[in-house]
Each structure stands twice: as structure tokens, then as C-alpha cells.
């Protein structure tokens, strides 16, 4: 089955700096890669996603890049703000008999310091 690794596990940045979180996946059949933000005690919220036919996608201050050959993808947050502080999860999925079930990474605790 799919295995997703995520680094770093914790990340501390100064307000206004950029943050980068990296993930690798094992199953070359995976073709969809979402990122979720989860605040303490809340549900995961989809913040951006990318499909395997695209190398990069951007939405305001967040962007995701995908390298299919190397099987890794990254989340980039620019001009970080205190409200960006949360746990971020990457995930991967492919179309299988189990619908589009997601395999999640272990999460990155992002702290944006004033």
C-alpha cells in the first residue's frame, strides 16, 4: 500500500518568513495530493491540492509543487502570519477499489512567532 513520509515534524518561523513542508510517497499510481490544515481540536481543512498532471499550483500565499519522478511534493507558505500556526498534513491517493482513500503523512506542527 501507499506510504507517505512528511518532514519536518515541527517548524518554527518568524512572522513574514516562508515555510516549506516536504512529503514523499511510495506508490507511483497515486495521482492526487491534498494538503490539510488542522487546528487544535478541529477537523482537517483542505487548503490546497494538486493532481499528478500538474507540477505546481498556487493560491495566494500557499503553493504546492509536485515531482512525480522523485515521488515528492511540497507545501510552500509565504509571508507567514500567526494564524497560519497549526498542524499541516500531506496526503496521497489514487483511484482504487477503496474509492479515493487518502494516506496521510504524520503531520508538521507549524509555529509562526511574532
Partner 1 sequence: GAGVSQSPRYKVAKRGQDVALRCDPISGHVSLFWYQQALGQGPEFLTYFQNEAQLDKSGLPSDRFFAERPEGSVSTLKIQRTQQEDSAVYLCASSNPGPGLSNFGPGTRLTVT
Paired sense of beta strands 45-51 and 103-104, if any? unpaired
Residue in 13, 20, 27, 31 binding partner 1, rule: CB under 8 A: 31
Footprint of partner 1 on 32-91 (CB under 8 A): 32, 34, 42-46, 49, 51, 89, 91
Alpha-carbon distance of 97 to 12, in angstroms, equals 39
- Pick from 7, 58, 61, 101: which binds partner 1 (CB under 8 A)? 101
Q: Would you say the C-alpha torsion 60, 50, 93, 9 has a positive or negative sign?
A: negative
Among 62, 73, 105, 110, contact with partner 1 (rule: CB under 8 A): 105
Note whether 92 binds partner 1 by CB under 8 A: no
Report the chain's terminal Cα–Cα distance, integer Å: 41
Amino acid at each position: 500500500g501507499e506510504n507517505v513520509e512528511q518532514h519536518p515534524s515541527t517548524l518554527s518561523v518568524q512572522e513574514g518568513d516562508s515555510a516549506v513542508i516536504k512529503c514523499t510517497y511510495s506508490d507511483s499510481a497515486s495521482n492526487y495530493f491534498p494538503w490539510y490544515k488542522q487546528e487544535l481540536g478541529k477537523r482537517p481543512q483542505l487548503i490546497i491540492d494538486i493532481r499528478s498532471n500538474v507540477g505546481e499550483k498556487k493560491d495566494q500565499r500557499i503553493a504546492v509543487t509536485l515531482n512525480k519522478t522523485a515521488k515528492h511534493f511540497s507545501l510552500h507558505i509565504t509571508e507567514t502570519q500567526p494564524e497560519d500556526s497549526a498542524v499541516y498534513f500531506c496526503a496521497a491517493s489514487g483511484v482504487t477499489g477503496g474509492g479515493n482513500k487518502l494516506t496521510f503523512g504524520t503531520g508538521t506542527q507549524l509555529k509562526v512567532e511574532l
